[in-house]
Copies of this chain bind each other. A is one copy, B any other.
Amino acid sequence: MHNKTDILNIAGDLFSQRGYHGTTMRELARSLDLRGASLYSHIASKEEMLWEIVRQAAGEFLAQAEAVPQDIAPEEQLLRLIRGHLAVIANELQNATVFFQEWKFLEQPLRGKITALRDAYEGHFRRVIEEGTRQGVFHVHDTRLATLFVLSALNWTYQWYHAGGELTMQQLADQYSTFILRALTCGQIS
């Protein structure tokens, strides 16, 4: 007997490896039948599974960002945003992979909902970078581009980071934080 969480775990596994379009409902059902579950009693469609996975990942990223207090120094806020982001990738690698790679296959209106969540998440980084720039702590000409730079460096880690490998998440977060803070704060090169 499977619950929805089990089904979404298996769907996340298949979608992250083969892609949404590379996974058929038949394969999903087969993976679940092997464990004695019935797919359609829990989930109406493949897109519903994609939506649930992507929404859950977006929710986890947002929850991390929303937990960062806004009354501390911008550098410290940014460090916490970086650690939170990498923690989601490390702890939820499958869902994060589906979030980054497959969200574009959602149809409207779901696609628009995810875009809104992504924008809200990006907004946390941008607000902190703008605040630090206003305070003269960050030296940035274009806060939008700086935000994209930071998120680009962070996002791509899902492609190569493996939990349990040689590099711990703490080491990754520390070194990424150093690089990103240097990139935003140093003034001698412009």
Q: Contact residues of A with B, CB < 8 Å?
A: 18-22, 101, 105, 141-142, 145-146, 148-149, 151-157, 159-160, 167, 172, 175-176, 178-186, 188-190
Contacts and interface: CB of A to CB of B under 8 A. Distances in A.
A148 B186 CA distance: 21
Contacts of A160: 148, 152
Number of identical monomers bound together in the oligomeric complex: 2
Nearest to A152: B156
Contact of A175 (B142, B155, B172, B175): B142
B183 A189 contact: no
A105 B22 contact: yes
Closest 10 CB pairs of A and B: A21-B22, A152-B156, A186-B186, A179-B183, A153-B153, A182-B186, A183-B183, A21-B21, A182-B183, A152-B153
Contact of A19 (B21, B142, B148, B186): B21
A172 B146 CA distance: 10
22 contacts: A18-B105, A19-B19, A19-B22, A19-B105, A21-B22, A22-B22, A145-B167, A145-B172, A145-B175, A146-B175, A146-B179, A148-B157, A148-B160, A149-B153, A152-B156, A153-B153, A181-B189, A182-B182, A182-B184, A182-B189, A185-B186, A185-B189
Contacts of A185: 182, 186, 189
A90 to B, nearest CB: 15
Nearest to A161: B148
Contacts of A167: 145
A18 B19 contact: no
A78 to B, nearest CB: 12
A141 B186 CA distance: 18
Contact of A178 (B148, B159, B180, B189): B189
A189 B151 CA distance: 20
